[in-house]
Chain A
Amino acid sequence: MSFARFNFKRFGAVVMKEFIQMRRDRLTFGMMVGVPMIQLILFGYAINSNPKHLPTAVYAADNSVFSRTFVQGLRNSSYFDIIREPRTTAEINRLLAENTVQFAVTIPVDFSRKLVRGERPDLLLEADATDPTAVGYAIAAVNGLVPTIFNRDLTGPLAPLQAGSPPFNLVVHQHYNPENITQYNIVPGLMGVMLTMTMIMITALAITRERERGTMENLLSTPVRPGEVLLGKIVPYIGVGYVQVTLILLAAKFLFDVPMIGSVPLLLVLVLLFIVANLAVGITFSTVAKNQLQAMQMTFFFFLPSLLLSGYMFPFRGMPGWAQDIGEVLPLTHFLRVVRGILLKGNGLPELMPDLWPMALFLAVMLTVGIKRYRQTLD
C-alpha cells in the first residue's frame, strides 16, 4: 500500500457519492436502519430459552388430597399450565402427538392408598421431548418438587413418611427423543430452514433480475400471461427443493442417525406444500422489489423471524403470546411440526392436519398477492 497516493479529496468524493446513493434508495436505507430496530425489539422480547407455562394434560385417576396438592404444585412452579384433563391413556398419546400439550401427568388410581401405606407409588410425567431444551427446565422443576411437596399433607401418623426417601417415585418418560439428542430436533428442522432460505431467495431474484436487465419489457410485449410466467419460474425450483430435501434426509439417516418413525413418502408429498409456499413468498417479493439488492433484503427480512420465531432455534412455547401469533403465520413453524411429527413421532395425516391447512392458506394468500402484484404492463 502506498499511502502517498491516497488522496483524501478523491476518497471523500467516493464517500459522498455512496451516501447520496444510499439515501436515494429509501427501501435499502429503511432496511438498514429501521429493520434492525424492529427486530431488536421483536426478538429481544420474544426469545426466551427457559419456557414457562407449558401446556400440560393431567389425568388424575386418583382424586385425593395428594393429587390436588401435586397439581397445585405444578401450577405454582409456573412451568405448567393445565389445559386438558384427559380420561384415557390413548387421549394422552393423541394430545402429545398433535402437539396440543407438551406434558402429560398421570396419577394412578391407587396413588394415595399406596402412598399412605409407604409403598412409594409411581407418578408418571410424560414429555414431548422432540425439542430437549424446551422441556429440560420444566422436568428439573418437577424433580425439585418431589421430596417435599407432600410434607404439609403428611402429618400426624403419616409424618414419618416425610423423612428418608421421597414418599413417591416420579417416572419421567421423554417421548420421541428419550436420549435428548439435539440433532434429532435440529437436523429435520434444518430441512425447513434451508428450504426457506434458498427457495425464497432464488425466486425473489427471478423477476427482479428480468426487470433489472431489461428483459421484462420484452417479455411483457409477448403474449405470455402472468400465470404462465410465475408458475414457469416456480416449477424448476421445486426440483431444486427436492434435491435439497433428499440430501438432508440422507444426511439425517446416515450421518446423524435421526430416527424415521413415520412415513418418509408422506413427508416427501407434504414438503411440496412447504416448498411452493416459500416460492410464492419469493415471487411476491420479487414483484415488490425494485432491484435484486432489495429482493435479497426482503428475503432476510422474512428469513430472520422464520428462524427465530418458528421454534427452530428457541422453544416456540417460551415466547409470549403475540410472538407465537406471528410464528403461527410463518410456514416454517408449521413445517417444523410436520417434519418433526413425521420423523420423530410417527405422525400420520390426521395428526398433521392442524399444521397443513395454515400452510395451504398461507400459500393461497401469497400466490394471490403475487399474481395481483405482477403487472402485465409497465404502467
Chain B
Amino acid sequence: MSTPEFIIDVRGVTKQFGGRVVVNDIAMQVRPGEIYGFLGPNGSGKTTFLRMLCGLLTPDGGSGHCLGYDILKQSAEIKKHAGYMTQRFSFYEDLTIEENLDFIARIYEVKDRQAAVEQSLERLTMTARRRQLAGTLSGGWKQRLALAACLIHQPQLLLLDEPTAGVDPKARRDFWEEIHQLAADGLTVLITTHYMDEAERCTKLAYIAYGNLLAQGTVDEVVASARLTTWEVVGKNLHAVADQLRGKPGVEQVVVFGTTLHVSGRDAVRLRESIAPWMREEYRWHPIASGLEDVFISLMETAADNFK
C-alpha cells in the first residue's frame, strides 16, 4: 500500500443514540505521522467518533476513508491495520501479560508470533514479569501493556482513548516519549485527552463539544482562531476582584491562579472598558498570550450557548 495523502479522510460523520445527536457532521483529515489530539468536554462525542473510525460503531451518516478503506463498508479491513486502545483496561485480567499479548497476536494473525511477543515484552521491560496476571498490574503498567498489545500487529493507525487518565506524571511523560517515537517511525496517532500539556504535545488538535467540531489546526492556529484577549492581574484580594468582574460586559472568563488572576474575553475593546476601573495602583495589569486552556474553556462555553 502506497502512503496516501491522508490516513483519515472523513466528512459528514454523524451518529445518533435514541434521537440524540452525539456526533454531528464531523469532517477530519489526518496525515501520516501526525499526532492528532482530540479534545472536548466529557460526553462530547470523542469516544463515539473513535469507535466509528475503527468499526465498533456504524455511522448514521457520512463518508470517507480510513487507511484507504471505506469507513462504512470496509471496517473489517480497517480493524486489521488499526490499533484501538480503549478508555478502560480491556485485556484479560485473569490471563498473564504474556498470554494476553499472545492472544492478541493470534487474533491479528501476526507472522512470527513468538518473536513479536518476545519483542513486545522486551520493549515493555516486562520479560521477567511475563507470567504475572494482568489484573495484578498497577494502573500505569496496565496502560503500558494495553499500548504494547495494540501495537503488536504493527498497525498504521493508533487510536487512543484517554490513554493517560489516572496515570502518574512520570508514566505520562514516558508514554508520550513513546508516542513521539512511534510517530517518528511513521505511525499515525489519534489521541483523546483532557490534559492541556498533552494537547500541546500534539502536532494537530481538534476540539469537539456537543458533537460539533469547533476548532481544528496546530496549537497556534487554534489559539489564534479563538481571538481571545487575556489580561493578567497581580495584587491583593483578587477573589473580590474576580467576583466583581464576573458578568461584566466583555468579560468571559475570570480564573484565579493563587496570587494572579486571568481575565479574558473575545471582545478586546469591551474587556478593556470593563477592567478599566480596577486599573489602579494596587493591581498590576498586563496583557498575556491566551493559553490553550483559556481557549478551550471559551470554546466550550460558546458551544454551550449555541448547541445546548
Contacts and interface: CB of A to CB of B under 8 A. Distances in A.
B86 A377 contact: no
For chain A, which range describes its interface: under 10, 10 to 19, 20 to 34, or 35 or more residues?
Answer: 10 to 19
Given A221-B84, A378-B51, 8 more contacts: A214-B89, A216-B90, A218-B90, A221-B86, A223-B79, A377-B56, A378-B56, A379-B57
Interface string A211-239: 00111111011111000000000000000
A223 B104 CA distance: 10
A214 B107 contact: no
B91 A377 contact: no
Contacts of B76: 223
For chain B, which range describes its interface: under 10, 10 to 19, 20 to 34, or 35 or more residues?
Answer: 20 to 34
A378 B57 contact: yes
A221 B93 contact: no
B108 A217 contact: no
B90 A215 contact: yes
Contact of A218 (B55, B80, B91): B91
A224 B107 contact: yes
Given A214-B89, A215-B91, A215-B92, A221 B80 contact: no
A221 B56 contact: yes
Interface in B54-84: 54-58, 76, 79-80, 82, 84
30 contacts: A213-B90, A213-B93, A214-B86, A214-B89, A215-B90, A215-B91, A216-B90, A217-B86, A217-B88, A218-B86, A218-B90, A218-B91, A221-B54, A221-B56, A221-B82, A221-B84, A222-B107, A222-B108, A223-B76, A223-B79, A223-B80, A223-B107, A223-B108, A223-B109, A377-B55, A377-B57, A377-B58, A378-B51, A378-B56, A379-B58
B78 to A, nearest CB: 9
A214 B51 CA distance: 14
A378 B104 CA distance: 20
Given A214-B90, A215-B92, A221 B55 contact: yes
B37 to A, nearest CB: 21
6 closest Cβ contacts across the A-B interface? Answer: A218-B90, A221-B84, A214-B90, A214-B88, A223-B79, A222-B107
A147 to B, nearest CB: 71
A228 to B, nearest CB: 9
A271 B51 CA distance: 42
B89 to A, nearest CB: 7
Contacts of B92: 215
Nearest to B82: A221
A314 to B, nearest CB: 41
Interface in A306-350: none
A379 B52 CA distance: 10
Contacts of A377: 55-58
A222 B104 contact: yes
B107 A220 contact: no
Contacts of B56: 217, 220-221, 377-378
Contacts of B58: 377, 379
Of B54, B56, B84, most buried by chain A (CB within 10 Å of CB) is B56
Interface in A333-379: 377-379
Interface string B109-121: 1000000000000
A221 B57 CA distance: 10
Contacts of A379: 57-58
A216 B51 CA distance: 13
B136 to A, nearest CB: 15
A346 B91 CA distance: 50
Nearest to A222: B107
Contacts of A221: 54-56, 79, 82, 84, 86
Contacts of A217: 56, 86, 88, 90
A216 B84 CA distance: 13
Of A218, A220, A224, A377, most buried by chain B (CB within 10 Å of CB) is A218
